[in-house]
A and B are shown apart, each in its own frame.
Chain A
Amino acid sequence: MPKTEFSPSIDSRPTYAGLVSQGAAPTIMVADEAGAQALSDLAASDASVMDHAHVVLVGCGAAALGDVKPVAIHDAPDFDAATPLVTQLLNTARMGTQIYLAGSEGLIGHVSALAFAAGMPVDEIQMEHRGSIARRMQCVHCKGITEEVTTDPFTCAHCGLTLFVRDHFSRRLGVFQGVCVDAETPGVVPETVEIQA
């Protein structure tokens, strides 16, 4: 599956320039199954990028990387299991460490927020979107985060409000913002549509 092209939006909406090798530096890579293909493509463009790379794969096994050979591969069944792994790698990382994220919006948002909290400027993170365009949404009312949102509006998994999917993105939290769609006119809810790229 190729790199996703998103339609133009407000400045807040993250855009993902695609992975570009920064050479044989200390490296942390995080990808899901669709993103693993972007890591393989990256290694094909410059094999040295894997010389000092630790790769965390979320929800897929090492086979997703093909014959790419980084220093270490850690796999985790989901975000929750991956978080302590990624946090540990970030907490022991030195200045000059390069970070590559590839996969869904949820994965990129989640891990870029962890990296930002560890002191990595978001602009310096290499990101490439592949696969699902499902969003990680925060309800601005109850602050609960709903993963894998594919429709607009959607129902907050925490407080049950019907939320409008905004392009307004929090880099600190790695989430898009969801706002109550029928606050002024309770019960009057627009037709549900699939989120588009």
Chain B
Amino acid sequence: MKKLCLKVAEVEQLSPLVKRFRFEEPTGAALPVFSGGAHLTVEMPEGDMIRRNSYSLISDPYDGSGYEIAVRREDKGRGGSLYMHTKVAEGDEITVSVPSNLFQLDLRAKKHVLIAGGIGITPFLSQLRQLDMEQKPYELHYAARSREEAAGIKLLPQAAHVHVHISEEGSRMDLGSILDGQPLGTHVYTCGPDGLITAVADQTARLGWPKTSVHSEAFTAPPPGEPFDVVVKSSGKTVHVKADQSLLEALEAAKVEIDYSCRGGACGRCHTKVTACDGRILHNDHWLSDDERAAQQDIMPCMSRFKGTRLELDL
């Protein structure tokens, strides 16, 4: 994967839990432009391992002068967001991937409805700049528990088609009234907690929307869990996966060659065949089908873990 060595140009506290980071090319050269909804993967070296987390780009897709991301501090996570919050300062060097996009706008749509829950606002910040640029009709609905939690407010334009729903203030998001009566050719995009994504899928199904008009992205980082061991079939080597490490990170640390892109269980690049499984795979991805999960012959190492006595991978 192509990497870029950038400089941290700005760090801003957007809310008590969310910081914005701006990265620029140290020479001042222009960076590759991207498309709304794209993400990049940030490398975080800690001791002898490199942690890699993917974050949605929030800056203008057509502006190559820098890349911006927003990171929510997850105190119960594996440490990636804590690293960003506590170790990264203005002037530091940082290694990131080139942007890639798993959450593009469908530009055949007549209208776009963007629905964000909490930190799920991030991919929409770049998408709405693209929509403004292309002069496409859209409406954005952003739900957050409290105004303090709603870090995205500062980055949103004040416009009649940008709606903020703060549940603490009694303005809960009503999906029925948002989705009912939208004109033919509307596409809806949801990013946020699984519950919100499911609620939008259920509501659109009830209203008879075509499935291809409904898009979503879950913003998941690999969950921590109990440590386990995995055997690499080609070498017979046993790799230990620590509690706060993903299987993919453990394989990388052990110098096992494996492809990846999103590191969030969505893109399918790290899809790996399981050659022996005595136990249960804890599937945390959005890639495998229900049948594939049940068969326990495939695993997405970026997200999923294992509980049992022996797991052997076709690597």
Binding site for B on A (CB under 8 A): 22, 25, 90-91, 93-98, 118-121, 123-124
Residues of chain A within 8 A (CB-CB) of B179 are 95
Tell whether, in the assembled complex, residue B208 and residue A118 are in contact, meaning their CB atoms are under 8 Å apart.
no
- B185 at the binding interface (Cβ < 8 Å): yes
The complex places the Cα of A152 from the Cα of B124 at a distance, in Å, of 51
The 10 closest A-B pairs by CB, nearest first: A119-B185, A96-B208, A93-B184, A124-B210, A119-B110, A96-B207, A95-B182, A121-B210, A121-B212, A95-B209
The complex places the Cα of A123 from the Cα of B108 at a distance, in Å, of 15
The complex places the Cα of A98 from the Cα of B210 at a distance, in Å, of 10
Residues of chain A within 8 A (CB-CB) of B208 are 22, 25, 95-98
Tell whether, in the assembled complex, residue B181 and residue A119 are in contact, meaning their CB atoms are under 8 Å apart.
no
For B204, give the chain A residue with the smallest CB separation: A95
The complex places the Cα of A96 from the Cα of B182 at a distance, in Å, of 9
Residues of chain B within 8 A (CB-CB) of A22 are 208
The complex places the Cα of A95 from the Cα of B185 at a distance, in Å, of 7
Q: Given A90-B184, A91-B184, A123-B210, output 16 extra A-B contacts at Cβ < 8 Å.
A: A94-B182, A94-B184, A95-B182, A95-B184, A95-B185, A95-B204, A96-B208, A118-B110, A119-B108, A119-B109, A119-B184, A119-B185, A120-B184, A120-B185, A120-B210, A123-B212
Residues of chain B within 8 A (CB-CB) of A121 are 210, 212-213
Q: Which of A91, A93, A95, A98 contacts B213 (CB 8 A)?
A: A95
- B186 at the binding interface (Cβ < 8 Å): yes
Binding site for A on B (CB under 8 A): 108-110, 179-186, 204, 207-210, 212-213
The complex places the Cα of A172 from the Cα of B290 at a distance, in Å, of 35
Tell whether, in the assembled complex, residue B183 and residue A93 are in contact, meaning their CB atoms are under 8 Å apart.
yes
The complex places the Cα of A98 from the Cα of B209 at a distance, in Å, of 9
Q: How far is the CB of A108 from chain B (nearest CB, A)?
A: 18
Name 27 A/B residue pairs within 8 A (Cβ), A-sorted: A25-B208, A94-B180, A94-B181, A94-B182, A94-B183, A94-B184, A95-B181, A95-B183, A95-B186, A95-B208, A95-B209, A96-B209, A97-B184, A97-B208, A98-B208, A118-B110, A118-B185, A119-B110, A119-B183, A119-B185, A119-B186, A120-B185, A120-B210, A121-B212, A121-B213, A123-B212, A124-B210
Q: How far is the CB of B288 from chain A (nearest CB, A)?
A: 24
The complex places the Cα of A123 from the Cα of B182 at a distance, in Å, of 20
For A23, give the chain B residue with the smallest CB separation: B208
Residues of chain B within 8 A (CB-CB) of A118 are 110, 184-185
Residues of chain A within 8 A (CB-CB) of B181 are 94-95
The complex places the Cα of A80 from the Cα of B180 at a distance, in Å, of 32
Residues of chain A within 8 A (CB-CB) of B212 are 121, 123-124
